[in-house]
């Protein structure tokens, strides 16, 4: 029987956040950092976060997004892990609260699917644009049904608060350079700079 591997992006695969890396690419790093700090402190809502970020990226082209993606500080071994999963006849997905237009580029590295916030440049943002922590659970449930798998056939890799509902639901979870709460919920922990180390631990749970 096949398996499903679920990856968070920011803080798990990406040793930064998409919003920071895009802001860096357009020369607005300081402004991007201030927005992210305000959001992290709970001073602004998720919708307001994007209302502030998107204007910073006005004029961003597909090539600019490609460049920001390529220059981002990814954890080691991402391409190799996706390739191994596919070679075994298994599935990988990335589910992130970051923009779909950034997250989806991981399919070019071998992820079978990618899900992110439906925010777009020069477009209005509303609650329906967001991808919540609870949405991660719903997406995984749909993928498991699509592939004919049980929760025990799935392993999730994550690091932060957006992974808590999923880690609370699935029996096989790997905390990757994670916050204390996620480590408490996880089946097993990985600290390091190469995804292959976390992946070996995840495979051991299946």
Q: How far apart are the first and last CA of the chain?
A: 11
Give the pLDDT confidence of 123-140 residue by residue, as tens digits.
889 899 999 999 999 999
Tens of pLDDT, residue by residue over 174-193, are: 999 999 999 999 999 999 99
Total number of residues shown for the chain: 206
Per-residue model confidence as pLDDT tens digits over 67-118: 999 999 999 999 999 999 999 999 999 999 999 999 999 999 999 999 999 9
Q: Which residues pair with 154 in a beta bridge?
A: 4
CATH of 4-15+73-205 given 3.40.50.1000, 3.40.50.300, 3.90.1150.10, 3.30.360.10: 3.40.50.1000
With both helix axes pointing from N to C terminus, report the angle between 29-40 and 18-25 in degrees, rounded to the nearest 10.
Answer: 160
The domains of the chain are located at: 4-15+73-205, 18-70
């Amino acid at each position: 029987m096949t398996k499903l591997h679920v990856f968070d992006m920011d803080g798990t695969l990406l040793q930064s956040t998409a919003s920071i890396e895009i802001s860096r690419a357009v020369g607005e790093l300081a402004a991007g950092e201030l927005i992210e700090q305000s959001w992290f402190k709970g001073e602004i809502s998720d919708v307001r976060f994007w209302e502030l970020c998107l204007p910073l990226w006005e004029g961003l082209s597909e090539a600019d997004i490609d460049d920001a993606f390529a220059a981002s500080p990814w954890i080691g071994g991402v391409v190799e892990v996706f390739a191994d999963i596919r070679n075994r006849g298994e599935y990988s997905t990335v589910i992130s609260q970051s923009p779909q237009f950034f997250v989806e580029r991981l399919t070019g590295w071998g992820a079978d699917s990618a899900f992110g916030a439906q925010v777009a440049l020069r477009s209005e943002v509303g609650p329906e644009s967001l991808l919540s922590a609870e949405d991660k659970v719903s997406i995984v449930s749909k993928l498991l049904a699509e592939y004919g798998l049980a929760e025990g056939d799935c392993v999730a890799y994550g690091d932060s608060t957006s992974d808590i509902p999923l880690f609370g639901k699935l029996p096989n979870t790997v905390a990757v350079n994670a916050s204390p709460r996620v480590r408490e919920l996880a089946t097993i922990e990985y600290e390091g700079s190469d995804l292959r180390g976390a992946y070996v631990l995840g495979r051991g749970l299946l």
